[in-house]
Structure 1
Amino acid sequence: MFRRVAIIGGGAAGATLLSELLERPVAQPLHLDWYTGGGIPGRGVAYGTRSERHLLNVRAASMGMFASRPGGFLEYMQKLDPTIAGTDFLPRCWYGDYLEAETASALTRAKENGHDIRIVPHEVDAVVPENDGVTLFQSESTTRVEAAVLALGALTPRPLPGVDEAALSSGRYVTLPWQLLADAKSDTQPHNVLVIGLGLTAVDVIIELAAKWPNARFTAISRHGVLPEVHQSRAALPFEDSDELIESMRDAPDIRTWIHLLRDAITHTNDWRRVVDCLRPHTPTLWGLLPHNDRARFLRHARWAWERARHRLPPQVAKNIEALEKEGRLHRLRGHMHSVTPSDHGLQMTYLPKGEHAERTLDADLIVQSVGLETDVRRTQHVLLQQMMTNGHIRSDPFGLGIHATSDGRVIHNDHAWPRLFAIGSMLRGTLWESTAMPEIRQQARQLADQLLAG
């Protein structure tokens, strides 16, 4: 049993693990150091938004913080509003309130049970793992713990290749969309906004700025020019042949075979979403069975289609986007961005339309980069991860999706797993693939708490 544990990261993953540890009956009090990084503990970037226009893309009934109580969020919300249904897609800021409340409750119980919890509202500068413990360096202080967990969430996005330094310094090219949305004020001036990307975050950017800037017009560009798929208004019944499908995929870990099996299953159901959703609890295991070359093939050719089908829009958000397109305020393009440079109108993007050979240009007074989760530790500016990579304490997974680790979260270095250094959440994408949403994070937290308290 590890009694002295450090959790590094103040978002939902860190809060969930902390709460899981404090839920368990233990023979001796725990000493937990939680390095929250200065934000509001528990909310992180994902649930830090204060806008009720930003909705969860998972129904309320499935968003509980604890694996043992998956309906906890719904219960919390129904105490505030009994009319809320489990099938509703609720604002992410409400979910942030829930995480804060659950974390505060766990900390209160911790004091009552004699646990020693130290919340450090700063970043960790360096971590040195060893076989018998982990040393943490923060400012001028040094702390020795029995085990440490990296719960860092997604990394700060880097500007895309081809973005001119002058464009970045102008402030008109935005790589941190959530900060932009938090700071944006109501404005009736006309704006010409270009969004690079068409995933869930890009949709949130467009929805929020369209409401705050009623005279703004938006152009969104991505490789395929398509929006995420849309959830059905009502929850569907589970796919009846899911056991047979999963077993067939386990028996033949080959991406081409899997695509054939999925297409066949979809032809035998009235809603393809049922097939995609039945895979979700099994995705980490299936990903682990897939050979390296097939993972690479999936990432090159099928990833965009999977992410579009897997990470879907709430129906009301899809309607808002459709309305913006019908009004002529939103235009979608298919293509690849080549460069962004300053211009007389603000910024100019040069891009190659899909299927064409000649470049085109677009002018905008604001460009927002929104191309998905950043988890590549090889080129990150994150101080702690840079230190750990430089010193060989961690390494990237083979595809640059996160930290190389075992399926149970133990961090790997030199082909061996550290016995006392773990990771949870987004940094495990390369190992588990499905590792960024609360239903997966809470299961990881439960299993990791079991490991930390075993013995």
Structure 2
Amino acid sequence: MTESIRNADVLIIGGGLSGTMLAVQLLRLPGQRRILVIEPRAELGRGEAYSAVELGHTLNGNAARMSVDPDNADDLTQWLTDYIGAGGWPQAHQQAVPISELFPPRGIFGLYAQQRLAEAKALSASTVEHVRGEVIDLHVDERSTVLTLDNGQQLRGAFAVLATGMFPAARTPQTDSSGLNAAAVDPWDVQAMTLIDPQSTVLIIGSGLTMVDAVVSLEQAGHRGPIEIFSRHGLLPHVRRQPPGWVDFLAEDHRLRSPRQLLREVRRQCRSALQQGIDWQAPLDTVRAHVARLWSQASDVEKRQFVRHVRPWWESHHHRSPPLSAQLVARLQGEGRLRVHAASFKGVVASDGGVTVRLRRRGEQEVTHVSGAALINSSGIEYDWRRVARPLPQQLLKRGLIQPGPLALGIAADVSGAVVDAEGTVSRRLFAMGPPLRGMWWESTAVTDVAIQAKALALKLTNI
């Protein structure tokens, strides 16, 4: 039986990091408002990314880069200092580096986000309530938004925010499934991996950061056999280092606009750094602050060229691996146990025992078959909401309340995060933040990006 409708000022759909950071920013603003965060998990602040329980699954950025407070870049470093000082994460003492350079386990980072939410709740006149459930439908009218949950409950709010976070390909049902997930082991499920013959061959599709996590999981599960990795370009993430500062060359020269111009200048700057004996990551790291501007001013053709020709190298050079995980991958490569192949995945073949995949190796026309004892889907994040076979994205598309973002990356919105519907109308009631805005800003997934968006959106929602 459907419960009577509940009312709130702001409905936040998703209680992972994005939704939690928005709630924190709303709590910090003057006034009194009721905020409901709808999240099926038992805890807020974790979501897909920070629900990991294994210490080996760490952030891919050091503490100095991962503050949830847009006004204090040292917030995580300060929290970690207290946490470690109180006896938390004793393994941190094994790393002879400053706390700001530590790469915390993702589970500990989730605890940090939760504590910042608890502190904001204790000091605010506003309230935040966690409503457990999955939003399966949404209606918008001139005055409000109404959400329907999977248990039949309905919630009404003046505003609703799509803070759905990322849809990992390994955990997301897709509308045109290749059968990969049905045959694959979860990259983060160490317990499931203990059931794999430790000497057997494991196949991994995808060679990015999810693959790095999968290799860490296999190692912790006691796997000691061969690991065969297949991805279209065969590129591994570079290891993240702590380079010295470098001049912000993009701030000095706004003539650099097209992807081709940017790529040429970045290469020149990196060569210059190497000639001076400086890590090439130093000039590359200055680009980060300008990505949103460069992406938003690029033409559709330029964006398409970037995604088609530059994206794989951008991902491998910019989204880098935490040092300890990179050391593991390098060691297994050196031992000959881990091999990386440039090949396109073409599907799963039914087989008796184990798993067989169809692949087309780069430079070849024929499709080949490769078999192993187990398969892991490490193909990264699904950003195209048309392919996400979950109730809410499909209903929003069906009702025309959203439209795909540029290049089908996330959904369309204006610069404030107000969602654009299928007819091009900017909503006054429905907003989005974080990963759903990937097509708007290209980099809309990092903690710092989401923190800035959360603060701006909170101000927007309280001043409409």
Question: What fraction of aligned residue pairs are identical, expressed as a percent?
Answer: 29
Distance 2:431 2:248 in 1: 37
**TM-score when normalising by structure 2:** 0.89
Distance 2:444 2:410 in 1: 11
The one of 304, 315, 329 equivalent to 2:312 is 304
CA RMSD of aligned residues (A): 2.3
Q: CA deviation at 1:162?
A: 9.8
1:166-315 aligned at under 5 Å gives the runs: 172-174=183-185, 176-178=186-188, 180-181=189-190, 183-185=192-194, 189-232=198-241, 234-245=242-253, 247-249=254-256, 253-269=257-273, 270-315=278-323
Give the CA deviation at 1:452. 1.0
CA distance in 2, matches of 1:198, 1:374: 15
Matched-pair contact (CA < 8 Å) for 2:194–2:223: no
Contact 2:18 2:165 in 1 (8 A): yes
Asked if the contact 1:376/1:402 (under 8 Å) is kept, the reply is yes
The structure 2 residue matched to 1:153, chosen from 145, 165, 188, is 165
Supply the distance in 2 between the matched residues of 1:159 and 1:331 (Cα, whole angstroms).
28
Which amino acid letter does the alignment assign opposite residue 103 of structure 1?
Answer: L
Q: Do the aligned partners of 1:161 and 1:339 also contact (CA within 8 Å) in 2?
A: no
CA distance in 1, matches of 2:454, 2:426: 19
Number of the residue aligned with 1:144: 156
**Cα distance between partner residues in 2 of 1:163 and 1:141:** 30
Contact kept in structure 1, 2:166 and 2:435, CA below 8 Å: yes
Q: 1:428 to 1:39 in 2, by over 3 A?
A: farther
Does the 8 A contact of 1:9 with 1:35 survive in 2?
yes
Matches of 1:11 and 1:238, distance apart in 2:
34
Q: Does residue 1:440 correspond to 2:443, yes or no?
A: no
Task: Tell me the secondary structure at the aligned position of residue 138 of structure 2.
Answer: strand
Conservation of the 8 A alpha-carbon contact between 2:349 and 2:356: yes
Q: Which consecutive unaligned segments of at least 5 residues does structure 1 have?
A: none
SS of equivalent to 2:340: strand
The Cα offsets for residues 164-222 of structure 1, whole Å up to 9 and x where unpaired, read as: 65x765xx424x433x3364447774232100000001111012212312333211111
AA aligned to 1:153 is G
**Corresponding residue pairs, total:** 439
Partner of 1:85: 99
The Cα offsets for residues 375-428 of structure 1, whole Å up to 9 and x where unpaired, read as: 211121121111111001111113111011112211001112101211011100
- Structure 2, gaps ≥5 residues long: 1-6, 86-92
CA contact (8 A) 2:347 2:357 kept: yes
Partner of 1:101: 115
Change (3 A) 1:444 1:281: same
Residues in 2 aligned to 1:352 and 1:118: alpha-carbon distance in whole angstroms = 50
| 1:358 is the counterpart of 2:366 | yes
C-alpha offsets along residues 352-376 of structure 1, whole Å, 9 cap, x if unaligned? 2112233322111211111111121
1:434 alignment partner AA: E
2:347 is the counterpart of 1:339: yes
Do structure 1's residue 430 and structure 2's residue 444 form an aligned pair? no
CA shift in 2, pair 1:124/1:6, >3 Å = same
2:40 aligned with 1:24:
no
Residue 173 of structure 1 contacts residue 366 of structure 1 at CA under 8 Å; is this kept in 2?
yes
SS at match of 1:40: coil
Give the conservation status (yes or no) of the 8 Å contact 2:201–2:225. Answer: yes
What secondary structure sits across from 2:406 in the alignment? Answer: coil
CA displacement at 1:9 relative to structure 2: 0.1
Query: Is 1:155–1:382's contact at 8 Å kept on the other side of the alignment?
Result: no
How far does residue 296 in structure 1 lie from its aligned partner after superposition? 0.7
Of 285-294 and 217-226, more deviation after overlay is shown by: 217-226
Aligned to 1:9: 14
Matched, 1:449 2:449: no
Provide the C-alpha distance between the structure 2 equivalents of 1:182 and 1:445, rounded to a whole number of angstroms: 35
| Partner Cα distance (2:181, 2:77) in 1 | 42
What TM-score, normalized to structure 1? 0.90
